[in-house]
């Protein structure tokens, strides 16, 4: 049905222009709109079918901003697959709920929480193609991968609410800020993110015996 709709209506041709106009010619809003579209269209479709549909509709809208083809196609593929664990049609999460005999919606939201880093990685590909070994040397790729890994770890700590001990709410906010700065390409942002991680690590070591945050996960 989805493939037929795309073919018969010709929406694949005009979708890119629609996204660019809605985002007022800016990359980040266009990526957000494209991600939402990928999640919606990816619901219930097998991987091959969703990639064919999204590569026709969504990828050209991203490539319009000069994003390399590899980064654009990985962006739409990631979010298409993440539709399998995103409520309300989280097929993979609901299948897991059936096996675990748990509540389907709660399982779906927990799946989103555990896969939160996966929702940011496609943005890294678009803003920093060097992570995909595009236009970067071997040392640069290693550096980009290291800072991105630290950013994802920081995001995981903030999401779960635990590092060396349960985190205070303000520690989780700092770790979230550290994750964003580490994932954002640039030496200054990487230095700020690394500094924030060091601050929280010292706080964890010094306040290990203190009370735990009520909001810790």
- Please, which residues have CB within 8 angstroms of residue 213's CB and are 6 or more apart in sequence? 161, 166, 167, 168, 169, 171, 172
pLDDT tens, residue by residue, 35-45: 888 888 888 78
Which residues make Cβ contacts (< 8 Å) with residue 6, sequence separation at least 6?
12, 53, 56, 57
Q: Distances from the Cα of 61 to the Cαs of 5, 33, 69, 83, 113, in angstroms?
A: 19, 10, 11, 20, 28
Instruction: List the chain pLDDT tens, one digit each, 217 residues.
Output: 766 776 677 666 677 677 777 777 788 888 888 888 888 888 878 888 888 888 888 888 888 888 899 999 999 999 989 988 888 888 888 888 889 888 888 888 888 888 887 888 888 888 888 888 887 778 888 888 888 888 888 888 888 888 888 888 888 899 989 888 888 777 888 899 889 999 888 888 887 654 444 444 4
DSSP state of 84: G
Burial of 129 (0-12, 13-18, 19+ CB in 10 A): buried
What is the model's pTM? 0.76
**23 in Cβ contact with 33 (< 8 Å):** yes
Tell me, what's the pLDDT at 128?
Answer: 83
The pLDDT assigned to 215 comes to: 45
Neighbours of 57 (CB within 10 A): 24
As a whole number of angstroms, the distance between CA 147 and CA 8 comes to: 45
pLDDT the model gives residue 3: 67
DSSP state of 115: T
pLDDT number for residue 74: 92
């Amino acid at each position: 049905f989805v493939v037929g709709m795309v073919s018969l209506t010709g929406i694949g041709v005009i979708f890119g222009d629609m996204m660019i106009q809605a985002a007022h010619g800016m990359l980040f809003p266009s990526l957000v709109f494209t991600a939402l579209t990928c999640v919606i269209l990816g619901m219930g479709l097998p991987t091959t079918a969703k990639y064919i549909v999204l590569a026709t509709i969504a990828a050209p809208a991203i490539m319009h901003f000069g994003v390399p083809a590899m980064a654009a196609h990985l962006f739409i593929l990631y979010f298409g697959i993440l539709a399998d664990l995103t409520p309300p049609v989280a097929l993979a999460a609901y299948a897991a709920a059936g096996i675990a005999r748990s509540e389907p919606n709660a399982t779906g939201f927990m799946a989103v929480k555990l896969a939160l880093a996966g929702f940011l990685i496609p943005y890294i590909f678009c803003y920093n193609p060097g992570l995909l070994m595009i236009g970067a040397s071997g040392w640069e790729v290693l550096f980009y991968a290291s800072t991105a890994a630290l950013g994802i770890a920081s995001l995981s700590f903030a999401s779960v609410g635990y590092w060396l001990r349960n985190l205070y709410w303000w520690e989780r906010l700092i770790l979230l800020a550290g994750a964003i700065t580490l994932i954002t390409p640039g030496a200054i942002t990487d230095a700020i993110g690394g500094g924030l991680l060091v601050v929280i690590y010292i706080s964890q070591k010094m306040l290990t015996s203190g009370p735990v945050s009520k909001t810790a996960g």
